Amino acid sequence: MVAARKLLRRAGRDRAGRFLVEGAQAVREAVRYAQVRELFVTDGAADRHSDLVDAAAGAGARISLVTDKAAASLSDTVTPQGLVAVCDLLDVPVAAALGERPSLVAVCAGITDPGNAGTVIRVADAAGADSVLLAGDSVDPHNGKAVRASTGSVFHLPLARERDAIAVLDACAAAGLALLAADAAGELDLHEPAALPVLAGPVAWIFGEEAHGVPADLAARADHRVRIPIHGRAESLNLATAAAVCLYASAAARRR
């Protein structure tokens, strides 16, 4: 239990090579797609999710019954669910995440909010992206809030972390991906006909922090800076919505 509590912090996760997964939905995906080492569960949660506990045990996880108080000490939520798994870290090197012939990749460039990062991962998964790359000073995707925001999508597609953001873009370009920076002041309108052939090809979308956008040095490396037209009076779109619009525009263009 003491070792598991250390996984609430990024340094502890990186040192142990493991992270915590809380809640029935996320734990269910972890059991199906990842390596679950241990499952901490309260009596109440075990009764509610007996099938999930059995599946975890069948997959080789050690099952540890704990009190509500002990389960809460492993949670960073207001209302703990009494179900916390310990899993191996998911991230792989950038080259492995890209694979041989990627066609749609999301790059989180300096995104520090875990809820935003987790939601981008969820959107990328839904849009059929090949991987998500977290570049620069982006949040750890194994952060509890990021995992919850992804609703299990962290287990569905390759994730990579790399502090050298320029190296991430270079790797994407070398893999044959056009670099598209989501930019409210971009020169290419997402809905213009000229955007269609760009979107239909292999692309890496670059998304920046909600308040500041894609860092200038990364936007300068992009093949295109793409803006989402605002037809009403809204000042802008939030990051997760913008990522959904951009990634689905690429998914739709590829299927024409």
128: region left, alpha or beta (phi > 0 left; psi from -120 to 50 alpha): left
What residues pair up with 227 in beta bridges, in sequence order? 189
Which helix (DSSP H) or strand (DSSP E) does residue 242 occupy? helix 239-254
pLDDT tens-digit series, residues 148-205: 999 999 999 999 999 999 999 999 999 999 999 999 999 999 999 999 999 999 999 9
Paired with 203 in beta bridges are 104, 178
Average pLDDT over residues 141-145: 96
Is 248's pLDDT higher than 90?
yes
pLDDT of 235: 87
Q: What is the pLDDT of residue 100?
A: 92
- Furthest C-alpha separation in the chain: 60
DSSP string, 137-176: SPPPTTSHHHHHHTTTGGGTS-EEEES-HHHHHHHHHHTT
pTM confidence score: 0.94
- In angstroms, rounded to a whole number, what is the distance separating the alpha carbons of residues 205 and 239? 13
- What domains are there in the chain, each with its CATH number? 2-88 (3.30.1330.30), 94-254 (3.40.1280.10)
Q: Spell out where the chain has E strands.
A: 18-22, 36-41, 62-65, 83-88, 104-109, 131-135, 159-162, 178-182, 188-189, 203-208, 224-227
Scan for tokens 């760009």, then name that residue: 198
- Rounded to a whole number of angstroms, the distance between the first and last alpha carbons of the chain is 52
Average pLDDT over residues 220-229: 96
Count of positions (residues) in the chain: 256
- What residues are paired with 81 via a beta bridge? none
Tokens for 200, please give them: 């239909």
